[in-house]
Amino acid sequence: MADANVRVLGAGGPGRCPVADSTRYVLDTTALMLAVTTIARHRRLSMRAVAAETGLSGSTLTRLSRGQKPDADALITLLAWLGEDVITPFARARENGYG
């Protein structure tokens, strides 16, 4: 039985999470990988090329395709590659001397 206080990120689109809201959010790895493969296909990129562009290992993308959650750095990297602005307040580029 699904927990009524769990919402899946990626399945329902962007939204706001009020501070008083006790809902726990979980990552939808299927939706994330679908977004990655959709952009890759549109740009005619192989997963190897996606790995090269993002700096992630091919095995990270393979694990994601099998439903395993990426670590925080890999998630931020993929969101940035996908063009998701939601990460801007939370991520700093390494070329700025951070990280």
| pLDDT by residue, tens only, the chain of 99 residues | 455 555 555 544 455 555 455 666 788 899 899 999 999 999 999 999 999 999 999 999 999 999 999 999 999 899 889 987 655 555 555 555 544
Measured CA to CA, the distance from residue 8 to residue 13 in angstroms comes to: 10
- What is the pTM for the complete model shown? 0.66
**Residue 12 gets which letter from DSSP?**
S
Domain boundaries, the chain: 28-96
Measured CA to CA, the distance from residue 34 to residue 97 in angstroms comes to: 32
- CATH T-level topology, domain 28-96: 434 Repressor (Amino-terminal Domain) (1.10.260)
Q: Give the closest residue to 5 by CA, choosing from 19, 29, 26.
A: 26
CB 11 within 8 A of CB 31: yes
Identity of the amino acid at 50:
V
